[in-house]
Structure 1
Amino acid sequence: MTAPEITIPDRLNMAQWFLDARLDEGLGDKTAIYYHGSDTPGDGPRELSYAGLVAESCRVTNLLRELGLGIEDRVLILMTDSPAWAAAYFGILRAGCVAVPANAWLEAKDYAYYLEYARPKAVIVDAEIWSKVDEARRTEGRHTRHFIVHDRSGATTPAGTVDFNRACAALPTTAETEPTYRDDFATWLSSSGSTGNPKCVVHMHHDFVWNTIAYAQRTLKLGRDDITLSAPKLFFGYALASNMLFPFSVGGSCVLLPHRVAPAEYFALLARYRATQFVTVPTTIAKMVAAAESEGAADGHDLSRLHSLISAGEALPPRVFRAWHQRFRAEIYDGIGSAEMFHVYITNRPGDVREGSLGRIVEGYEYELIDDAGKRIEGTGQIGTLVIRGPSAGLCYWRMRDKSRETFRGDAVVGGDKFMIDADGYFWYCGRGDDMLKCSGVYVSPVEVENALIGHAAVREAGVVGYRDEDGLEKTMAYVELHPHCPEQAGEALAAAVARYPRAKTIRWVQEEPQNMGAWTFMEPNIEWVLQQAEAKITRPRYAGRPASASTAAGSVQKHKEEQDALINDALTL
């Protein structure tokens, strides 16, 4: 059954839609934020109701207006998670200004880039990182009129800055909300800076509301009783939505953690706050499983209210998915989204999870796969570049005309990711376009090969890369790390790999121990036997490592370094 069309009103301000509407629903006294607190004196755990958050956001709005800011003026947010972060964000929107959240764990040079690139009229910054911002403004602060410093301890802020706490405390708790339109600028989200400096995606009020309804409410079915807790911080668009906007849209609650958290510590936090949904990434899930297995990190913690994990940001290996399910009840809804489209548009969902896949398209979005020539790929089972269409698409990358034209085409976004779609409509992630390998004219997905390898119990990690052979043709090379103390299983894993790739040209055994120690003497004949049984093209493995020695240690730092350099060069030279 098709859901009714999502209708967004012409006049729209996110502060009203996500916050004020909860007061209209009689939820003013309900807890919006559970704040865990930090190690800073005076910054302990506390709760903030919806009414309290609305009041604090109005104070921020009044502060910005008192400083001369108004509609479309940009405000850079450089803070870690706290009630003040939420108040600042909604206060900016309520004033009709544009919020520009950025990573609070960067260096001075990165903040200098943001000051010049985004040209914010004001910056709201935590006192802990003020010294870096102060350094940045000395070279690139000419566009910024006000630096507003938030000190968790309540201490007086540096001269020449605006004291966030004291200034807000002196202002009224009510403010007129700027009557913005659905297509007014609301928030700039930072897109990946893996190929250079971050790119800011320009989004409007409409984009956030539309995706919240389509994904959080209709697909994930988030409700008023939900309490979310997130590993990523609010300055990432993924967490801004999943751990604040989404629960607020239905009258739920969120847990805010200002500091970095070790994966093993999340079990206690999830139990303490009775969280129902954990927002995370595959790496954290894998480390939590490992901590539960090796340290008993989950023992004694009641996770009975935790019904789901939201996973995105990288591919979730099937092995990690299975390992989590073997120990815990909570389902994993793995999906993919982007700053360009605001959030998730393909996902697994309640009652519809397919292990290893990213799930199906979120209703309301449309897609197609295109080949390298830009032509639509018909049918299923082929790898292509994803083109996603939907009402939450951003307008452009700020001040990047050529890159914007490549990526944004009307309501469509052309990404750099490669996917395969099966006959049932499930999406399978194959890797970034520049990660894909083309061997014998056919795309090879490193992710697919890696998942096949690490699916075996003997394999700890695997990485697949491409290289050019002596004829200049692209080939694949897999680097496999085995679990210790499992030589028999290692043989099984190798047999499976050889059977899958019968035309492999070389197999190398790499170890740090001298050649006459470690597992080489045991593995060499076993590998030869496996190769013979598989009738492989190669019959013997090649050793890459330290030469035979009477001692496990080189005896000197310089000698050890030379041997390590030689080992790495030998292992990686194809």
Structure 2
Amino acid sequence: MISVFDQGPPTPCPAPFNLAAHVMRHARDRGDKIALSVLGRDGVQDWTYAALEEAILGTATGLLKIGLVPGQIVLMRLGNSVEFPIAYLGAIAAGLVPVPTSSQLTEPETARIIAELSPAAVLRDPAVACADHPRQISLEELSAMRTLPPATYAMGDPERMAYVVYTSGTSGKQRAVAHAHRAIWARQMMVDGWYGLTGEDRLCHAGAFNWTYTLGTGLMDPWTIGATALVPQPGTDPARLADLLREHRATIFAAAPGVYRQMLARADSLHLSDLRHGLSAGEKLSRSLHENWVARTGTELYEAYGMSECSTFISSSPAHPARGEALGRPQPGRRVAIIGTDGPVPQGAEGTIAIHRSDPGLMLTYLNAPEEAEARMQGDWFLTGDQGAMAVDGEITFLGRDDDMMNAGGFRVSPVEVEEVLARYPGISQAGVASVEVKTDTFVIAAFYTGPEKLDEDGLRAYVGANLARYKQPRAFIHLPALPTGGNGKLLRRALPAYFEATA
């Protein structure tokens, strides 16, 4: 049998369609219900569904009133606040194409984006860095738009462009990923396939408002089914998160693995009586971290795999917990394969994780680089660049990024496998591994780790010798105060060799 998961297509996206209208579809029947609570140190800022839609549609009116035209691109340079999702959905409601970006980008980085996309306007918080642009709409102007008469949702072809996000850049040059309005329709497959989310849930997301993980999982998906979203105030201490989950009766918690790691290290108590389970995405969840969370809280963690080009489409869930070391399985309605040079590989064999061209969540293209988007297609399959293996029941084991895969004596080694073994060693808080050049054309695997103190290398060598095949064992161990990460908190494995060179 070949490695293809296909249990039938999802229900087609209706037409005409608007992403923001779909997100706010419960504003009429649940108008007085709390859609969003911003959890602050000095109180809670609540938004009902009715108030939220009023602000979104007022913003849409304001953006059109100043002369912006449906189809035009607007760059978002806003901070970690509720203004971000309101402006984002307001732009989409008006038929504009917002480009959400991290507030951590520098002025030169935004200059490159402006040069590439030629946005019609920049939605701008003056505290957020941004290169010059002739049409900047201030935070004050955006806030004033909320009280304007509501616009009518710009309905149209679900295949038309709705928004643009930038890839994380972990595999090379960042690319502008164009998504259609139908992308929000595809996210419904996550509700049962990952979240186990209902309209009565209170989902707390620990990320920033201007992070796409928060924007999707933490806000838009709960709103789409009429649930309540909880978002801690920016700057909340991870040690305080457990208290907020208890105080505000969160039933589902979503975060990146790093947040779970910090909570386990710093929270006094992790007794969370209302919490049903947690969600993890953004980077690979280590087995040891997962097991520690379950032991401390008595609740499960469900992990998801995705990417900027297609959000998350493989996951574990309350209905289908992952088995052993597996990541999870394709969500119902997805068509996923493990691809080799000649197409889908036999079940159990390693290959590249791929999703079918027909998936409603797959991007439209890379703006200004459509040839690169087409180059990632193999027939009808979009190649993610990540390695995996599929079991007979569809369970997929993640084996690492294709460009992260290491070569040791002719054997391909997944960094994820080595890192998970290291993460279980006492005294290691976080681990990353990479292939490093010790002399010309001679490479070995080096392990980089954080923890309270430098560990005995003889002990580490004995441990990996007992737990990994020889060709998988690190030959060097480097203690660091912190591992290098990108703006979204992901481990930057390609940056690790420089730390080895610095200590050599």
Work out the percentage of aligned pairs sharing the same amino acid.
25
Q: 367, 376, 388: which is aligned to 2:355? A: 388
Q: 1:482 to 1:62 in 2, by over 3 A?
A: closer
3-state SS, counterpart of residue 57 of structure 2: helix
Instruction: Pick the aligned partner of 2:313 from 330, 345, 355.
Output: 345
| From 395, 400, 418, the counterpart of 2:369 | 400
Q: Which structure shows the bigger proportion of residues in helix conformation? A: 1
Say which SS state the counterpart of residue 216 (structure 2) adopts: helix
Name the counterpart of 1:147.
136
Superposition map of 1:492-507 within 5 A: 494-499=461-466, 500-502=468-470
- Asked if structure 2 preserves the Cα contact closer than 8 Å seen for 1:93 and 1:99, the reply is yes
Higher Rg: 1
Distance 1:443 1:47 in 2: 51
Gaps of 5+ in 1: 152-162, 513-566
Deviations 1:318-374 (A, max 9, x none): 110111111002211111111101x21110100423354311111222222233x45
| SS across alignment from 1:202 | strand
CA contact (8 A) 1:100 1:187 kept: yes
The match for 1:154 is none
Q: Which has the higher contact order (CA 8 A, sep 6+)?
A: 2
- Counterpart position of 2:386: 417
User: Residues 108-127 of structure 1 correspond to what in structure 2 (within 5 A)?
Assistant: 108-127=107-126
Question: Which one is further off, 477-486 or 184-193?
Answer: 477-486
Partner of 1:177: 153
Change (3 A) 1:263 1:472: same
Aligned partners of 2:419 and 2:433 also within 8 Å: yes
- The match for 2:19 is 14
Of 233-242 and 179-188, more deviation after overlay is shown by: 233-242
Shift of 1:206: 0.9
Aligned to 1:23: 27
Looking at structure 2, the residues matched to 459 and 189 of structure 1 have their Cα atoms a distance apart, in angstroms, of 34
- What is the letter of the counterpart of residue 26 of structure 2? R
Mapped to 2, the partners of 1:168 and 1:485 lie a distance apart of 54
- Residue in 2 that maps onto 1:188: 164
| One-letter code aligned to 1:247 | P
Q: Work out the CA distance in 1 between the residues paired with 2:74 and 2:295.
A: 46
Corresponding residue of 2:243? 268
Query: Which amino acid in structure 2 is aligned with residue 27 of structure 1?
Result: R
Note the C-alpha offset of 1:244.
1.1
Deviation at 1:227, TM superposition (A): 1.6
Cα distance, 1:506 vs. partner?
9.4
1:99-248 to structure 2, matched below 5 A, reads 99-129=98-128, 132-133=129-130, 136-137=131-132, 141=133, 146-151=135-140, 163-169=141-147, 171-172=148-149, 174-194=150-170, 198-210=174-186, 212-217=187-192, 219-248=194-223
TM-score of the pair, normalised by structure 2: 0.85
Q: Deviations over 1:42-71 (max 9, x none)?
A: xx7421111111111111111111111222
CA distance 1:438–1:126, change in 2 (3 Å): same
In the aligned structure 2, how far is the partner of 1:370 from the partner of 1:2?
A: 18
Deviation at 1:443, TM superposition (A): 1.5
Match of 1:378 in 2: 346
Secondary structure of the 2:88 match is helix
The alpha carbon displacement at 1:268 in A equals: 2.1
Question: Corresponding residue for 1:277?
Answer: 252
Give the deviation of 1:217 after TM superposition: 4.4
In structure 2, C-alpha distance between the alignment counterparts of 1:168 and 1:509, rounded to whole Å: 55
Following TM superposition, by how much is the alpha carbon of 1:423 offset from its aligned partner in structure 2, in angstroms? 4.3
Cα offset for 1:74?
1.4
Q: Deviations over 1:374-414 (max 9, x none)?
A: 5432120x322211222211011111133222235686421
CA separation of 1:249 and 1:58: change in aligned 2, threshold 3 A: same
* Unaligned segments of structure 2, at least 5 residues: 1-5, 481-498
Q: Which amino acid aligns with 2:31?
A: G
Q: Which amino acid aligns with 1:10?
A: A
Rounded Cα–Cα distance in structure 2 between residues aligned with 1:323 and 1:5? 36
Hey, what does 1:155 align to over in structure 2? none
Letter in 1 for 2:142: F
What SS is found at the alignment partner of 1:340?
Answer: coil
Structure 1 counterpart of 2:487: none
Relative to 1, partners in 2 of residues 1:434 and 1:266: Cα closer, same or farther, differing over 3 Å? same
Q: Is the 8 A contact 2:54 2:146 kept in 1?
A: no
CA contact (8 A) 2:32 2:48 kept: yes
The alpha-carbon deviation at position 37 of structure 1 amounts to 5.0
Q: For residues 184 and 502 of structure 1, do their structure 2 counterparts lie closer, same or farther at Cα, with a shift above 3 Å needed?
A: closer
Q: What secondary structure, in the 3-state scheme, does the structure 1 residue paired with 2:333 have?
A: coil
CA contact (8 A) 1:369 1:387 kept: yes
